[in-house]
Amino acid sequence: MRSRKAQKLDLQAEYPCPCRRNGTLVPIALTEAFGCNRCQQIFVVQEEGYLLEQLSTHYPYKRVWYWTGQQWRLDHSVLSNHYLPLATMLFGVGMFVLLLAILQPPSSLGMFLRLLTVAAVALLFLVVFWLSCRR
């Protein structure tokens, strides 16, 4: 059974490339970085030697891996940094709808439909924001 715990990276060792399986990561002299001999990507060691971060990337968010001793695994804890903006936007939308309801209580069907429309539009913005954070 393979271990899923992150192992500390040895800066003098060679590892397989996390992007392409046929490449090899070679240490770059006098730095805490590795370079792939096949795809020419540069990777920097982060988090006290436990994580490997891809420097130049085409992805909107940085890709980070950890070494299990036998293979690279994507580190998904980096994605948790995007939950704060999402929670802030959700809180703001909720406060906006609540403020709108307090200022003009829904005494008629027209006001209720207006509040429902505002809530639907706010939910739509929230979904679009969430999808943009995922990419």
Residues contacting 92, CB < 8 A, separation 6+: none
In this prediction, residue 119 has a pLDDT band, given cuts at 50, 70 and 90, of confident
pLDDT in tens, 74-90: 887 655 656 667 677 77
More confident residue, 97 or 135: 97
In this prediction, residue 124 has a pLDDT band, given cuts at 50, 70 and 90, of confident
pLDDT for 63: 82
What mean pLDDT do residues 18-23 have? 80
pLDDT for 82: 62
**Angle between helices 109-134 and 83-103 in degrees, nearest 10:** 170
